[in-house]
Amino acid sequence: MKQKTMLQFDYEAIDGEAITAVVGRADGVDGRWSVVSIVLGARALVLRVDPDSDEISATLEAAPGGAEWIPIAPMQAVVGTALGWCWVGRNYRGYLDTFILSCSDLEPQFLFIGMASAIHLRRISEFD
């Protein structure tokens, strides 16, 4: 299998930038997203899922606009914080279906996983 790259740009170009919005386009089911956009002023880190392979791609694009983009409620607390580190994950079959993000530091906080042709969002927390 040819190795793919999830990040389609140099992530260091946006590391530390302020998050101004987190919006997505839903596929009709609550909590499932076809596209997630982490807005950084005039541009955005955009996560898309391939509906055939569940792989996620990450691109740097112009900030989205339009009624089809809706705020992702669990992510609104990060608006105003700085974009932190990211991690990419490959499953045992070789598919790039996991993207992990931190805000304001190096602690991983959010997991975006491609499953069932959509992006699912999970919060990462330490064990008590």
For the chain, the domain total comes to 1
In a domain, 6, yes or no: no
Distance separating alpha carbons of residues 98 and 112, to the nearest angstrom: 6
pLDDT given for residue 46 in this prediction: 97
In a domain, 4, yes or no: no
Query: How many residues are recorded in the chain?
Result: 128
For residue 37, what are the contacts with CB-CB under 8 A and spacing of at least 6?
21, 22, 23, 24, 44, 45, 46, 47, 61, 63, 64, 69
Q: Range of 99's domain? A: 11-123
Query: Using one digit for the tens of pLDDT, what is the confidence trace for 14-28?
Result: 999 999 999 999 876
pLDDT given for residue 127 in this prediction: 86
pLDDT given for residue 28 in this prediction: 62
- Whether the full predicted model's pTM is greater than 0.95, yes or no, is no
Confirm if 60 and 48 have CB atoms less than 8 A apart: no
In a domain, 15, yes or no: yes
Distance separating alpha carbons of residues 28 and 125, to the nearest angstrom: 28
In a domain, 66, yes or no: yes
Using 50 as the pLDDT threshold, list the residues of the chain that sit under it: 1
- Give the pair of three-digit tokens for residue 1: 């299998």
